[in-house]
Every structure is written in structure tokens, then in C-alpha cells.
Structure 1
Amino acid sequence: MAKLPSTAKAVVIGGGIVGCSTAYHLGKLGWTDTVLLERHKLTSGSTFHAAGLVGQLRSNANITQLLGESVALYDRLEAETGLGTGWKMNGGLRLACNQERWTEVRRQATTARSFGLEMHLLTPAEAKDLWPLMQGDDVVGAAYLPTDGQANPSDITQALAKGARMAGVKILEDVGVNRIVVETGRITGLETTEGFIECEIVVCCAGQWTRALAATVGVNVPLVPVQHQYLVTEQIEGVHRGLPTLRDPDRLTYYKEEVGGLVMGGYERNPLPWAVDGIPEGFHFSLLNSDFEHFEPLMELALGRVPALQNAGIKELINGPESFTPDGNFILGEAPELRNFYVGAGFNAFGIAAGGGAGMALAEWIAAGEPPYDLWPVDIRRFGRPHFDTDWVRSRTLEAYGKHYTIAWPSEEHDSGRPCRRSPLYGHLTAAGACFGEKLGWERPNWFADLSTGEEPRDVYSFGRPNWFTAVGREHVACREAAVLFDQTSFAKFVLKGPDAAAALDWICANDVSKPVGGLTYTQMLNDKGGIECDLTVARTGEDEFYIVTGTGFATHDFDWIRRNIPAGANAQLVDITSANAVLSLMGPTARDILSVVTRDDVSNDALPFGTAKRIGIAGCPVLALRVTYVGELGWELHLPAEYAVNVYEALMAAGAPMGLRPAGYRAIETLRLEKGYRAWGSDIGPDHTPIEAGLAFALKLKTDIPFKGRPAVEKQKAEGVTKRLAGFTVDDPDVVLLGRETIYRDGQRCGWLTSGGFGHTVGKPIGYGYVRHPDGVDRDFVLSGTYELEVATERLPASVHMAPLYDPKMTRIKV
């Protein structure tokens, strides 16, 4: 065995496919002072028993691109290293056996086209031609991706390891990590079974061991092991090397060819957890006992699809635990709790498909200090407080596993681990007919049923108009014509305080927050490329104190971004006060009249104009009233200590009842913001989009001489122009359902996809937003001069384009 070096710049822990891929890509980037440590032998964790299917299409363009990076790497790896990988691009077939699944597949085909991924829709006969062993009487249609494939997990990992060694990376087997050494908040090295190695950076790719290891240094990685079984058959007549992989989600199963036989596995709806009390010592190159009884329902479903399995010889039923996560996505990135601690884990049984691209992304993240592109769906910072509890993580993860092959309905909510975080108003909202959704553990009212008519507060999912459409429309109209009250207690709320707080925010914020006390600013926070990392509001509540409000799901991400970018040496402290304050958002034309009834403070436009903050009293409560809106109407966010929430809510509802006030939920917020053209971070805007591209140049302080992070990049864009611009789109047919990811065509040419979509109940039409792209440049005139179509579930529909809000509160209705 090679000797453990005394120092390294980066140490990768874990010799599975993700660890070896990360080491390989670090080596390619010139990081030759990298060491990979594997406690036993390469692939001995879960990689060796992975099934090895490689699919690419996901609901996010960048994750699809990342999986495409895996395919590109696997295509060249054998020639580069001289080691066989078992990789073959034999294509992937996905069946639809009912009309709802067929709608989902057709929408996926449009998504693939949006992202530039080749995908063909097939008739049942065409599908059977590709997969002759299939019994297809119930097949409605199928999708075929010719660039999908399969690989041998152990072989491809060994090839990546050889490639890493060829680039100068050291790989040491049989070296366990006993302790990650952290001194004064900084990684200094690792204590291993072969001695101490000094290092600055640790990359934890330890699979199902990652959660426990990371926890020793205070890092939270929400994953748990779950049993996953598949069987391997003897040779079957008609199975050949070029047979595509097959996914049959309505029967919960998948198939791939192996040595003339089949590998068949699936995702049962009642998965079994493993190692609830911890992974046993010495568990490597180990499998669990085969559980034929638990596998039997999948086997019965498979026999209905592949009758040849009835007489096939079974080599083995493999039961291997793999790490799964609460949302079914893997985990990448630098931990918010500890600088220079990176994670690549939780691959939900598609680690082979993701391994090549994930290693590339993680290596570039380490080398550049930021990901190569927006990876929010897999970013470790998407998690938060509920994910520290392993029982909660396990409950949600088992539900996500059980839904792996179920239909992915629009706006679908999870049921497990609920309720977890509740606003003080939870009981009142329940009594009012709230149908709750959940985000980062928070129970949030999505819509309100009319209990007096027997309407039930329960979601019924559909690819057409869902059962909540009418209820959301009621709330939408009430906001436009009277007033509504939203419980937005789940907002993430921070305080930045200290003598240097103003100077720190001057640097971090792209808009000018250096206003007098009482000033309120909508601002982005940018990376060095000008990309939007945060989208939030900042209220100046004191000379040295600022109150920051951002979205529920971005609590960990935005806190981490602000804290990391406070200039070195600045005397400014950031504190998360999310749980301390409730938030009631009073919005609508009669909002001022209602507010005037419950407070003696002056809330006139002169006393409290738009973009200001003021402390007022309501029902004995000190309230920070922020004059701001995300729905396009007169209104206030009322921030108040949580213990007063019930009193203030009751006072507002009583005062507002004669003026048409009603409670409303988050789905109405979405329809209202679409009409007004407000952007949503994580869909319409993010690190890959700049304010210039997103139509948010008005929120930049370019007219001042104040330097801010990202300023050079947006100044350059403003001077030279951009190659994409965000635009709004409407379709005349009110029955069309826009969800996002629909393909945009300009003058017959594909030019982008919708980033978000929904329905505007005031304008009476479906609304979507997306970037119009052209390599030679895009400006307002270019966008407006085109003729547009949207592809929705493979059908192209005429669309109108808009560069201005569709709704103005001065108008009762606007023509579009």
C-alpha cells in the first residue's frame, strides 16, 4: 500500500463512483495535490451492487445537463484510460400504460425538447419492436431516449480511479478516517488509521456513511439508507446486447440486459429502511439477506410485462442498501456550517447516472469556489431545521422512495412528517378551511375551501385544471377587488446588526440599501458573474441594524450567502430570527381602510409610502409594517412577535369582514404575481440569470458610485447587451395548462423554455415566463418583433409575448 502523505490540499473521503469521479475531475483541473481515501476497497460501499442504468432527463435543465456530462464522460473514458467500463449507449425506453401517464410522458417529451435532449414518442407497436419480450396490450405509448444507456458500476469506477491517478491524484485503499480535525472553525486535517494528514479541504463522498461522519463536525447531510432489491436472471432467449433499458413506472419496475439475461428491479411503495440504529462496523462489499416476500409484489408486476421471466433461471436476488434523500435529489456543495467541507452524497440509486457529472460539478465548485452553473435542486443549502432530526428525514425519505415511479403531479405535496413547523395561526386557518402545503417543514395554507358549501380542503391532482382552481380564483379576485390576508410566517427573517452593517450590505446588495431609517429596499445579491444569488427585501430599522426578509425555502442558502460575503474584518453580526416573528400580509384595494380600523397610527400614503417600513400598534402588539407587495396591490407585510399573532389576526379579520376581507393562500399568491410579472427565485431568476437579463435593471444602483459584488459583470452586460431576456407569454385558450418547461418557439425556431407557468384569473388566460435566447443578442425590440408558439405536451400553440406586466391595479381588467 502507498504511504499516506503528510499533507494534501484536498482529501476526498470515499472510493465509490462519486468520490472517484470527483478525484478524476480535480486531477483534470490540475489539483494534483489531491488524495482519495477509501476505508476498504474502491466500490465496496454501495457502488459495487448498483444496477447501472444511465438516464438523463430531469425536470431541471441544469440537472439534465449534468447527467449529460456523465454520458459524455463515459463515452470517452475507456479510450482514455484503457480500462473497460461496460458503458453502452443502447438507449432507454419508458412506458405509459394509462392516459394520465401518457400526458406526463408527452410533457416530458416537451421538456426534453426544451433542454435539447433527443426524445421520441412511440406507439405501442414501435415500443414492442424495440423491446420484443414485452407484453404490451396495456401500453398507451412510450418514450425513447437514444443517448441513454448502461454501465458496469465497478468497472467505470476503476476507470475513473485510473484516470485520476494518470492526472497525478493519489488514491489510497484500506485507509479509514477516524476524525476530521477542526480548529477555530477551520479544517486542519484528518486523523486516519494510517496517521495524520494535513489538509485544507475535505470532500465527503462517503455514501450512506456521510450523514454520521459529517455530523461529527456539525454538518447536516439529510440522507438515510434504504433497502433496494433487484434480481439477475440467467440467459433469456431474445435478450441481446443492444436491448435498450426499460422503465415501466406504472408497474414500478426497470430492466436492463446483462450477459444475455435481465436485471429487474423496482421501487415498491412500502420501502424498508436499513440501519436505523447505525451502520454496522465492517460493512463493506456486503449485501443484506434477500427478502423474497417483500420483492414478490414487484415480481408479479414484472411477470405481467415480461412473461419470459416466468421460466427464466434466477441467478440471485440482490438486496443492497443505498442512500436516499427526503426529496429524491442528490446532495452537492459546500456545507453552510463549515467552510471547505464539501459533500457529494445521497444519490437515490441513480449514482451511476449522475456520478460523472456530479464529480465534474463538485470538482469545479471546489476549484472555483462556486458551482459551474445553477445547481439549486441538488444544493445542500436547500435543507434546513427539520432535516437535523433523523426520524423526520427517514419518514420523508421513505415517502419519496415510494413515489420514485409514481406520476409526478403538478403541485404535488408530501404527506409524511406533517405537521412539523406550525404558525401560531394553524388552528384558526384550519377552522377557516385551509388546505395546507409544506415547505422546509412549515405548514402553509395553499388555498381555502368554502366549508359552508361542503367543499373539502383536499388536493386532487391533475394535469388539467385541478380541484382547487375555483377556490384559488375566489381568493385571487378578492385580492384584486377587496382584500385578503396571507399567513406568511414561514418567511425567513434575518437581522444584520453592527457598526459595519450598512457598509457590508452596500457591498453585498445590488440595489442601494443605504437609506434613512425606515427605508425598505427590494434587492438582489449577485455573484461575480452578475448572477442572482438572493432576491429579498431589506428594511433599515436602525442606524446599525437591518431587517432582511426572504423566501421560506431559501433560509439556509440566503443566510449562508450573506454571512460568507460580509467583508473580512467587518463588525456586523447576522442572526436568524425566523421563528421569533409571525408575518401577516394584508393585500388589496381596501387594505388601508382595514388597517386604519385596527391601529391609531397614521397609515396614509404620506405617512407610510411604498418602499418604507414603520412600527405601528395593533391589538397591543408592536408591528413592523413593511409597505411592499408581491401580488400587485396596495398592501403591507405585518411582522410581529409570534405570541401576538392570534390577537392581530382576529383583529384584522373582524375589522375586514364588512370590507370583503378573506384569508388566502400561496397558490393565489402565485397566480397574482404572474399577472404582475414578479420574478420567482429558483425558477425565473437564479445564479444563471442576471438582473439585466431578467428585466430587473431598475433594482441596480448603477447610477451611484457604490461598489458592489457583481457590479463589473452587470455593467459589462448593460454596455454590450445580452443573449437572453425574460419575457411573458399568454395563450388564448383558457383550458391550456402551463406548468413551466414548455418549449418557446420564435418564428418557428426553438429559443428557450418557460421557467414558470400558471393562470391569471383577472386576465382570464394562462400565463408563462421564460427567456428568449439568441446567440447574436436579444433586446426588447428583438423579443417583441417575433411570432411565438409554446409547445405544451408536444402540441404547439400560438402565444402572445409581453415585456410589461399584464395587470395594473389602476385598471379593472386589461386586454392581452
Structure 2
Amino acid sequence: MVDLPSKARVVIIGGGISGCSVAYHLAELGWTDIVLLERKQLTSGTTWHAAGLVGQLRASQNMTRLAKYSADLYTRLEAETGLATGFRQCGSITVALTEERKEEILRQAAMARAFDVEVNELSPDEVKALYPHLNTDGVVAGVHLPKDGQADPANIALALAKGARARGAKIVEQVKVTGVTEANGRVTGVNWQSGEAQGHIAADMVVNCGGMWGRDLAAQNGVTLPLHACEHFYIVTENIPDLTQMPVLRVPDECAYYKEDAGKILLGAFEPRAKPWGMNGISEDFCFDQLPEDFDHFEPILEMGVNRMPMLAEAGIHTFFNGPESFTPDDRYYLGEAPELKGYWVAAGYNSIGIVSSGGAGMAVAQWMNDGEPPFDVWEVDIRRAQPFQKNRRYLRERVSETLGLLYADHFPYRQPETARGVRRSPLHEQLKAKGAVFGETAGWERANWFANDGQERDYRYSWKRQNWFDNQRAEHMALREGVGMLDMTSFGKIRVDGRDALAFLQNVCANQMDVDPGRIVYTQMLNARGGIECDLTVTRLGEDSFFLVVPGATLQRDLAWLRRHVGDASVTILDVTASEVVLPLMGPKAREVLAQVSPNDFSNDAHPFGMAREIEIGMGIARAHRVTYVGELGWEIYASSDQAAHVWESLMEAGEPLGLKLCGLHAMDSCRIEKAYRHFGHDITDEDHVLEAGLGFAVKTGKGEFIGRDAVLRKREEGLNRRLLQFRLKDPEPLLFHNEPILRDGKIVSFVTSGNYGHALGGAIGMGYVPCRTPGEKAEDLLGSTYQIDIAGRIVEAEASLAPLYDPKSERPKA
């Protein structure tokens, strides 16, 4: 007989390491009313067969924080629960076989220094000394992380479960959740089945930790959880005499990792093209199961492995393992509350890094559920980044065949996915393509990143140095600065907020003054209670009760969810109108001349000042012209209905030709915006960056009355700033900045670059980054009186620092 309560505060679905971690951390926070249901046995999905690598350095500071937390947790769990987790800090070594990979791992080593992770750079001889079994032919460099390690995944999950039970959580195996119940837009509980028995548990929240089953379970409630299982292969050798404990070894150029395991060697692979699995759903009785062997698929990896680790030639293969793991479209897992349904939480989709991630992920999601906000910025893994179309199974099947391999591919800057492309396109896609556009992808949108010249290859040639489009970017950048350029930014998220209470609602969620005349455009942020930035946007007042919000394409779902979360009983409608209009930014000193050729309207400063939007005639159509800029020049964003897009575009192209109008891509827009020190959400500003420390106090109007975050702004003004966002220009024009390069103040690492690009008008790479103040409210002259350098793959480069934009510091050009 199954003994289950009729109600609980939270039901966690899935007893892998992720579900056990969420249960453990909620119990640690004092929640007692916790039920975890596992359809078979704990760890029986993918946890039991995971390789158990615990690498602490991740792609960003906060993902590294989560991984370091996991390592600390697995160390203390053993003492707390008496269950061995098998966690050993044997260290890890990554070796490079190419100069490009060497640059990558040395940049990662620099990043480790910025994130306070112990790291050693190794010559090939030093690699050999640390790993004598390795054939070092072709090895050009290595990086050693002494505190990395390996662990026993199943035992960690069981220890987490034991710790959760000890604090009052109820964990029950052999109970399947058949559905999540809901009413009035929020979760009400779960239906369950166990053998012949079935029932319902009423609950305030559920957490989907269903792993590769998670997508189909989420889909029952209209929740988007884009993940798909892939086959993951490894072999374990027979026992090798006298084999001692060694560091985990990664040879990404050969798609392989090696770990010593109880006197045997485990060799695993992240091959460039993976095999998706479970296209027609995953069988009900799947439990501790393996997939059929496919030796032909694994053989090329094994051949390289025998060459790289000669002792494998002598060792017999004890186990050839093939098991499924879930992968996501961007190789990052999902945490947080689903935007579609209140109380429906997710922790799933770990892309083969579930063991190192789950400890920290469980802590983060538990704190988020407890406090109503995450412990720090986790936008990289936030479920709200998922696009509704991404739950499409054909899309996922195609994309995950690539994302598994990307784990060990070169992580070049600007790398674009190759599979599952072309899903979301601007109405002008074909016109741009005909003009030489080379497209990148963001949130499923195809966007022109740069334009190839006649006869030039229309493809990326990736590198850590200048890529093949660097000169194209320079030409586009200088057209925007000196002549006139046009972009297609149709991918901007566009939201209508209408209704009797629209103004009062926006006054509460936005920090700037929203009570402006119709036609006025307001640049603002939506803040959280800590004064952190939840959204960076412009709001145009169209009428008494009508407002038009423009947000980044990548954050649209997040921003819609934030708005809907704060509506309360206000009489407003919130509508996503992204697809209804194209956006054509026409920017540069000659923008006014181009518009004069296609429109009878007056575009003078008196008739159309900066920060105003109005309806205009254009060609034979009607559009809205918004006088704003993200490149820092005179210009207008032209909003035209999708049906008139081609006509408006052709009219502008024709009028611009005699004036040298150049089509420009996103890379040029980004290099222009960073010269102007315009912030980029997700990099320079996040929900844990205080709006005043981000230098955006000019967009905050505390005098207007109450709004979310106002108290935190007033407090910070009183206490003084603890850090400031600075702009940097490298004095050497050669090196490039991307992000995460360490910033040195007077010779000591104090921070890292949040975003970087090349400043073609300023003649060097430009970066942004927060620098801690030595005392709260440290004076600007003291902050700028220091010397600054930036560490680029171990090379220390002098940098000029500034609080004001290095380009057009008084912002005279947009108002010309």
C-alpha cells in the first residue's frame, strides 16, 4: 500500500540527482512539507550511468559559483549522511592540440584567475610529468585545475535523499506522476499512480526534475521545456595493474575524456554529430537500461584514444556503455518557474554536466522558491529564455545532434549553430540574403550579423584572432559613424500594454517617469526589490492608455513573464506584437537626408526631436519613426507593418543609394554600442547589478512616487556605491576582447570584462566591466586615478578606463 499524503507544500517529480538536490535544499531551508515521487527507483534514469566528472570552471562567474558550491557540498555530504559520495579532488588537465585551442584554454585559465579558481598553465613537458601515461605528440599546451575531481553520481543522489529525509522530506519510489493539475493559471497538485493504486496530492508548487521525460510531462500543461535525449558513449577497460589515481584528462580536440576509476580507465566521448534518441517517447519500463551498442559510431574515438593513451592497446574492454542523456538547444540547463503556469518549477536538461551542476542548481532553485528571487543572476539557465517553438520535436532532434558535440568543440566567439536554422525570419530575410547577409541566430531569429562583399565567402571562419568578417564590420561600423547605415532589427521584442490602468501599472514596474506626453519615448529599466535590473527597455506612449514596449529579442519571454507577474488586479492587457512590425534602424549623420528623399514629413530637431515617435509617410506607405539610437548617432528606428516591410525597405534603399547607404549587421551595431558604452542586458546589466552601480541612475526617477526597487535605490544613494561599471580601451590596437577577461587595478585582479568588441572609431578593443570601490562611494577621480590592465590569455595589456563614454561623451551626435 502506498502511503502518500493528500497535500504537500511542494511535490518534486523525479528522483535523479537533480530532484534529490532540490528536495535536500528545500529541507535545509526548513521546508518540511516536501514530497518527492520517483516512477521507478532513485537514480534509475540517467544519474546512475553518469561519468561523475566535477569540473569547477564553467563559462561564466555565476555558473562557476554553482559548480564550486556542488564540489563543497559533495565534500560535506559524506560527513553529514554517512554515505560515501566518492568525491575525490584528483584535479583535471585539459590539453590543446592546436594553436586555436591553446588560445582558448589560456583564456579559460585567465578566467579561472578572475573567478578565484586555482589554475596552473602547463607546457607539454609539465603535462607529461603530471600524466605520464599520455602520448604528448601534438600537445601544445595544457591547463591544470587542482581542485577539480570525480564522484559517484548515484551515491551523491542517495546521500542527498538521505539528508532530505532526515529533515522531514518524504521520498517515495515506484510512484509515477501521471499529470500536474492546475486551475486559474496556477498549479494545484499532481495525479499519481502506483500499480493499481492512484490518487491526487494537492500542492502549491511542483518541480519538474523529470530529466529526459521532462519535456513531455511539461507539454501536458502547455509548459515549454525544450530538451531531447541523445546517446552518450563510454568504455571502461579491464583492470590495469599498478594504475594509480590520476587527474581527469580532457582532450577536446579528439572529443574525449579519460578518468581513472578503481584501477580501470573510463574513456568517454562527445563526438561532433550525436545520435538523438527516444523520438517516439521513452518506454514506460525504462529503468537502469542501456541502449544498443554501436561500436562503429564509437570506433573513431577509440582509435584516437589508443594512440593518445597507449596502455589502452593492452587493456581489454570490460564495458561498452551507451546510455541516454538529455540535451538542450543551447547546451545550458533550465531552472526556474515556468512563465506559462504559476507554481510550476523546472530543474532539468543538464547536457552531460548534471553531476557538477545539480548541487548548485538544487540550491539555487530552492532559494528561488523560498525567497521569490534567485540567490544571484542565473539568466544563462533561466527557463524563461526558452522560446515556445523550441518544444517542437523535429527542431530538437536536429539541434541536439549538434549540441552534444559542441561541449568539446572550440568555443569560438560568435560561433553560430549549424542545425535547425531558419525557423524565425524577418519579412526582409530574402532581400537581405540577396545583398550578401551572413546570418546568425538569437532566440530562433535569423539576423544579419554582417554583409559579405561581392565574391566573398558567405560563411564564418572562426578564430580567437580577427575573424574573416573583421574588415566587413569595420566598413559597416564607419558607415554608421560617418555616413548612413541601415539594419534590420525586426527581432526586437515588441509588447503592447493597454487599458485603464496601463499608466499606473507601468509607473510601478518601471523606474523612469512614464507619465509623459503621447509620442514621447522613455528609456527605462524594470527593477527588482534589490535595485537589480530585470529588464532594459524603451517605452513609447502611444495614447492616454496605450504604451509600446521594446525589449531585446532574447529576453521577450522573460519580460512578458515579469510584466504578467506584477499585474495584480490592474485593468491592463499585455500583448506580444513582435511579429506584426519590422524595425529598420536608419543611422548615421546622413540619416536625415535619406528620410527627406522618401517622406514629406519634417525631420528637423524642432519638428522631430530626440526621444519622440510619430507616424510618418514613407514611400507610398505609413510607418512610425522613433528617434532613438543604440549605435550613438543621429537616426530613426522605422517601425512598419509586416505587409509594408518590403515596400518601405525598397524605398529607403533606393533613396539611400546616391548617399552611400550601407546595409549593416548586428556585429557593427554591437561594436558601435560598446564605443558609446551602451549597456547590453545579460552581460553588462543583470538582475544582480544595481541600477546605480550600472551607471543608469539618470533613468531612475525616485521623485515620481512608489515603484518596485525604489527603496533599494534610495538606500544605495545613502550608503554609496560599492562598485562602478567602467569602460576600457586597450592601448595596443591588436588584441581582442570578448568577455570574462580579468581586469587588473594597480596590478591586482579585481574583476572581469562583462562584454567586449572592437572599437573601429576609437582604434582598439573596447570592454566594459565592474570595478569594486575601495571604500563605499569612492570618488570618481580616485577610481580613475588607478592604472588598469586586462589579462588576455595570460598577456597583460594596458587599458584606458573611463566612466563617461569614450566616444561622444556628451552625446551630442544623436541630437545633431
Mark yes or no: TM-score above 0.5: yes
The change in CA–CA distance for 1:321 and 1:121 in structure 2 (over 3 A counts) is same
Instruction: List structure 1 runs of 4+ shifted beyond 4 angstroms.
Output: 809-813
Distance 1:812 1:616, change over 3 A: closer
**Match for residue 457 of structure 1?**
458
Residue 641 of structure 1 aligns with which residue? 641
SS at match of 2:754: strand
In structure 2, the partner of 1:764 is: 763
For 1:539 and 1:381, locate their aligned partners in 2 and report how far apart those are by CA, in whole Å: 24
Residues in 2 aligned to 1:426 and 1:61: alpha-carbon distance in whole angstroms = 36
For the 8 Å contact 2:229–2:324, the answer to whether it is kept is yes
Query: SS state of the match for residue 9, structure 1?
Result: strand
Deviation at 1:192, TM superposition (A): 0.5
- In structure 2, what is the Cα distance between the partners aligned to 1:396 and 1:60? 23
1:148-163 to 2 correspondences below 5 Å? 148-163=148-163
Residue 312 of structure 1 is matched in structure 2 by 315
The residue correspondences of 1:517-666 to structure 2 (distance < 5 A) are: 517-566=518-567, 568-666=568-666
Q: 1:222 aligns with which of 226, 235, 253?
A: 226
In the alignment, what sits opposite 1:212?
216
User: 2:538–2:551: 8 Å Cα contact kept in structure 1?
Assistant: yes
CA distance in 2 between partners of 1:384 and 1:457 (Å): 27
> Structure 1 regions of 5+ residues with no counterpart?
none
1:465-513 per-residue CA deviation (whole Å, 9 max, x = no partner) reads 1111111111111111111111111111010010001100000001111
SS at match of 1:192: strand
Whole-Å separation in 2 of the counterparts to 1:726 and 1:109:
24
- SS state of the match for residue 722, structure 1? coil
Q: Is the 8 A contact 1:513 1:520 kept in 2?
A: no
* Contact 2:336 2:368 (8 Å CA) reproduced: yes
TM-score with structure 2 setting the length? 0.97
What residue in structure 1 maps to residue 177 of structure 2? 177
Aligned to 2:13: 13
The whole-number CA distance in structure 1 between the counterparts of 2:636 and 2:411 is 35
**Alpha-carbon displacement from aligned partner over 1:506-545 (angstroms, at most 9, x marks no partner):** 0000111110111100000001111001000000001111
Match of 1:288 among 282, 288, 291: 291
**Equivalent residue letter for 2:611:** G
Alignment-derived partner of residue 205 in structure 2 = 201
SS in 2 for 1:200: strand
CA 811–680 in structure 1, closer or farther in 2 if over 3 Å, else same = closer
CA distance in 2 between counterparts of 1:2 and 1:133 reads 53
How far is 1:237 from its partner?
Answer: 3.2
How far did 1:386 drift? 3.1
Query: Quick check: 2:367–2:374 contact (8 Å CA) kept in 1?
Result: yes
**Does the 8 Å CA contact 1:743/1:753 hold for their aligned counterparts?**
yes
d(CA) in 1 for partners of 2:458, 2:295 = 40
Aligned residue for 2:714?
Answer: 715
Gaps of 5+ in 2: none
Distance across 2 between alignment mates of 1:365 and 1:350: 21
Query: Do the aligned residues in 1 keep the contact of 2:632 with 2:811 (CA within 8 Å)?
Result: no
Deviation at 1:779, TM superposition (A): 4.3
1:479 aligns with 2:467: no
Describe the superposition over 1:728-783 as per-residue Cα deviations: whole angstroms up to 9, x where unpaired. 11112111111111111111121100001111111111111100014633442332
Residues 126-275 of structure 1 mapped to structure 2, 5 A cutoff = 126-193=126-193, 194-240=198-244, 242-275=245-278
Residue 622 of structure 1: CA displacement? 2.2
- Give, in angstroms, the shift of residue 219 of structure 1: 0.3
When the two structures are superposed, what TM-score results if normalisation uses the length of structure 1?
0.97
| 1:372-521 map, 5 Å | 372-451=375-454, 454-521=455-522
Tell me if structure 2 keeps the 8 A contact 1:228–1:321: yes
Would the aligned equivalents of 1:502 and 1:514 in 2 still touch at CA under 8 Å? yes
Task: Determine the C-alpha separation between the residues in 2 that align with 1:533 and 1:434.
Answer: 32
2 CA distance for matches of 1:260 and 1:727? 52
206-215 or 740-749: bigger deviation: 740-749
Q: Deviations over 1:610-646 (max 9, x none)?
A: 1111111112322111110011101111111111111
**Alpha carbons 2:276, 2:400 under 8 Å: kept:** no
Q: 2-side partners of 1:290 and 1:455: how far apart?
A: 44
The amino acid across from 1:418 in the alignment is: R
Mapped partners of 1:776, 1:19: distance in 2: 42
**Distance in structure 1 (CA, Å) of the matches to 2:220 and 2:809:** 54
**Cα deviation code 1:144-193 (max 9, x no counterpart):** 11111011111111100000011111111111111111122221111111
Question: How many Å apart are 1:812 and its aligned residue?
Answer: 12
Letter in 2 for 1:138: G
Which residue pairs with 2:335 in the alignment?
Answer: 332
Q: Percent identity?
A: 48
Report if aligned partners of 1:118, 1:145 keep a CA contact under 8 Å in 2.
yes
| Contact residue 585 and residue 635 of structure 1 kept, 8 A | yes
Q: Is 1:298 the equivalent of 2:301? A: yes
Query: Structure 1 residues 382-391 or 623-632, which shifts more?
Result: 382-391
Report the Cα offset of residue 388 of structure 1: 2.8
Q: 2 CA distance for matches of 1:776 and 1:259? A: 52
Per-residue CA distance 1:542-586 (angstroms, 9 max, x = gap): 1111000011111111111111122x1100010001111111001
CA distance in structure 2 between the partners assigned to 1:160 and 1:692 by the alignment: 40
1:10, 1:201 within 8 Å by CA — same for their partners in 2?
Answer: yes
| Residue in 2 that maps onto 1:796 | 796
Give the Cα–Cα distance (whole angstroms) in 2 for the partners of residues 783 and 290 of structure 1. 61
Distance 1:809 1:782 in 2: 20
Instruction: Give the drift of 1:809.
Output: 8.8
Following the alignment from structure 1 to structure 2, what is the Cα–Cα distance between the partners of residues 616 and 649?
14
Decide which moves more: 73-82 or 118-127.
118-127
Cα distance in 2 for partners of 1:794, 1:2 equals 60
Distance 1:533 1:274 in 2: 37
The Cα shift of 1:97 comes to 1.2
Number of the residue aligned with 2:371: 368
Q: Distance in 2 between matches of 1:696 and 1:142?
A: 42
Structure 2 residue aligned with 1:776: 775
Which amino acid letter does the alignment assign opposite residue 312 of structure 1? A
Show CA shifts across 1:324-353 (max 9, x none).
111111111110111110100100111111
Distance 1:811 1:717 in 2: 26
* 1:674 alignment partner in structure 2: 674
Q: Look up the SS of the partner of 2:276 in the other structure.
A: coil
Quick one: distance in 1 between partners of 2:364 and 2:243?
36
Distance 2:565 2:592 in 1: 39
Task: Give me the whole-angstrom Cα distance separating, in 2, the residues matched to 1:251 and 1:179.
Answer: 43
Is the CA contact (8 Å cut-off) linking 1:386 and 1:440 kept in structure 2?
no
Measure how far apart 1:131 and its partner are.
1.5
Give distance in 2, aligned partners of 1:491 and 1:797: 36
Correspondence for 1:23: 23
Question: Does the 8 Å contact 1:725/1:779 carry over to 2?
Answer: no
1:721–1:779 CA contact under 8 A, matched in 2: no
Which letter does structure 2 place at the counterpart of 1:214?
A
Counterpart Cα distance in 2 of 1:720 and 1:358: 32
CA deviation profile, 1:58-81 (whole Å, cap 9, x unmatched) = 221100111111001011110011
8 A Cα contact 2:328 2:400, kept in partner: yes
Q: SS of the counterpart of 2:523?
A: strand
Residues 671-729 of structure 1: CA deviation (Å, up to 9, x unaligned): 10111110000100011111111111000012x23211011111111111121110011
**1:667 Cα deviation from its structure 2 partner:** 0.4
Match of 1:785 in 2: 785
